[in-house]
C-alpha cells in the first residue's frame, strides 16, 4: 500500500473539521495507505511503528515493544446497554495484554470533561485483562485531569509530538512528505479559522434526527429496514446520534407503531448483509432502523 496523490487531493475538498482532517492524515501516514473503514484492524507500516513507539516512549517511557500491535482508527468501545451511546477514541493500539488509546484534539473547544473518563470506564469493562493506557494529544490548553485508577493517562501537546512526525517521515517518499506538510500546516494554524470548511453544527443534528425519525415512521408501516445516509465526523458522533434517535422515537405515545422501531449501528465486520448507503460503504458503519415485535 501507499498514500495516493488523488486521496490527498480529495481530502482537501471534503468538508472536514480540522480534527477529522488531521486524524485522517495521521492515520494514512501510520498505515502508509488509504484511510481505512472505522474500527477495522490494520497493521502499522514500518515508519508507523517508528512514530508510535516514539510517542509511547514520550508518553509512558516504554523502551521497546515485544510484539507489533494492531492499529485501529475510530476504535469502537461499544455501549454496555441500550441507554448508553458508547464511545470511540480516535486511535487505538492493541496487544494481547495491553490496550493503548489515543484521543486527538486540535480545538480546545471540543474538549468534553466526560470523554476521557468514559473511555477509561468502557475500556476496563470490555478489556478487563489488559493494561489500559490513554494518550490525550491536544493543543496547549488547561483542563482538569480526571482520576484514572489503575490506567495510565498521559497528556501531550502537538508542539511535543510534531517533531516525532517530521523526524519519522522527513525522509519518506514524496506522498508521505506531502501528507506531513499538510498536517504541519493544519496544526500550525490552530487557534485561527479553519479554511477547509466546517460541518454545520446544532441545526444539522436536529435535522438528522428528524430525517431518521421519518425513516423509522416508514419502517413502522411496511417493516422494511432502512438506513440513514450520513457521513459523520467519526464513529462517536454516530453513536451519539443513534441515542438521540432512540430518545426521539421513545417520546412517541405508548402503543404508537414507531415505538416498535429500533435504531442500531450496522457495521461491515459484525453485521450481516451489505451497506445500504454511501456513508456505510465508505466508513463501514451506518444507523439502521428495524421493526421488531
Please give the distance of CA 40 from its chain centroid, rounded to a whole number: 11
Give SS3 for 125: helix
What pLDDT sits at residue 7?
86
What pLDDT sits at residue 167?
98
Give the cell for residue 148.
484514572
Question: With contact defined as beta carbons under 8 Å apart, do 207 and 244 qualify?
Answer: no
Pairing between strand 131-138 and 98-104?
A: parallel
DSSP 8-state secondary structure symbol assigned to residue 172: S
CA pair distance 19, 37, nearest whole angstrom:
17
Give the cell for residue 231.
457521513
**Predicted confidence (pLDDT) per residue in 39-61, tens digit:** 999 999 999 999 999 999 999 99
Question: With contact defined as beta carbons under 8 Å apart, do 95 and 67 qualify?
Answer: yes
What pLDDT sits at residue 236?
95
**Predicted confidence (pLDDT) per residue in 210-226, tens digit:** 999 999 999 999 999 99
Q: What is the CA radius of gyration of the chain?
A: 20
Give the cell for residue 210.
428528524
CA pair distance 54, 165, nearest whole angstrom:
9
**Predicted confidence (pLDDT) per residue in 150-209, tens digit:** 999 999 999 999 999 999 999 999 999 999 999 999 999 999 988 765 554 444 778 999
What pLDDT sits at residue 199?
52
**Predicted confidence (pLDDT) per residue in 252-290, tens digit:** 999 999 999 999 999 999 899 999 999 999 999 999 999
CA pair distance 291, 111, nearest whole angstrom:
36
**Predicted confidence (pLDDT) per residue in 243-261, tens digit:** 999 999 999 999 999 999 9
Amino acid at each position: 500500500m501507499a498514500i495516493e496523490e488523488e486521496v490527498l487531493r480529495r481530502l482537501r475538498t471534503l468538508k472536514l473539521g480540522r480534527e477529522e482532517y488531521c486524524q485522517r492524515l495521521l492515520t494514512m501516514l501510520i498505515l502508509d495507505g488509504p484511510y481505512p473503514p472505522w474500527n477495522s484492524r490494520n497493521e502499522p507500516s514500518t515508519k508507523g511503528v517508528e512514530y508510535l513507539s516514539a510517542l509511547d516512549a514520550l508518553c509512558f517511557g516504554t523502551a521497546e515493544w515485544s510484539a507489533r500491535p494492531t492499529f485501529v482508527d475510530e476504535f469502537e468501545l461499544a455501549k454496555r446497554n441500550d441507554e448508553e451511546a458508547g464511545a470511540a477514541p480516535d486511535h487505538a493500539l492493541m496487544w494481547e495484554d495491553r490496550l493503548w488509546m489515543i484521543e486527538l484534539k486540535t480545538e480546545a473547544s471540543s474538549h468534553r470533561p466526560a470523554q476521557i473518563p468514559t473511555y477509561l470506564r468502557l475500556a476496563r469493562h470490555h478489556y478487563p485483562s489488559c493494561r489500559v493506557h490513554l494518550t490525550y494529544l491536544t493543543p496547549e490548553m488547561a483542563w482538569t485531569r480526571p482520576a484514572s485508577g489503575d490506567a495510565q493517562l498521559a497528556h501531550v501537546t502537538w508542539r511535543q509530538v510534531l517533531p516525532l512526525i517530521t523526524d519519522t517521515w522527513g525522509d519518506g517518499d514524496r506522498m508521505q512528505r506531502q501528507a506531513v506538510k499538510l498536517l504541519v500546516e493544519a496544526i500550525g494554524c490552530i487557534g485561527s479559522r479553519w479554511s477547509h470548511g466546517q460541518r454545520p453544527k446544532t441545526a444539522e443534528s436536529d435535522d438528522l434526527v428528524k430525517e431518521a425519525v421519518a425513516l423509522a415512521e416508514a419502517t413502522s408501516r411496511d417493516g422494511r429496514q432502512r438506513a440513514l445516509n450520513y457521513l459523520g465526523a467519526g464513529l462517536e458522533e454516530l453513536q451519539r446520534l443513534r441515542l438521540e434517535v432512540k430518545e426521539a422515537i421513545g417520546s412517541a405515545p405508548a402503543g404508537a407503531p414507531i415505538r416498535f422501531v429500533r435504531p442500531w449501528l450496522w457495521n461491515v465486520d459484525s453485521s450481516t448483509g451489505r451497506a445500504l448507503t454511501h456513508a456505510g460503504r465508505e466508513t463501514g458503519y451506518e444507523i439502521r432502523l428495524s421493526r421488531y415485535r
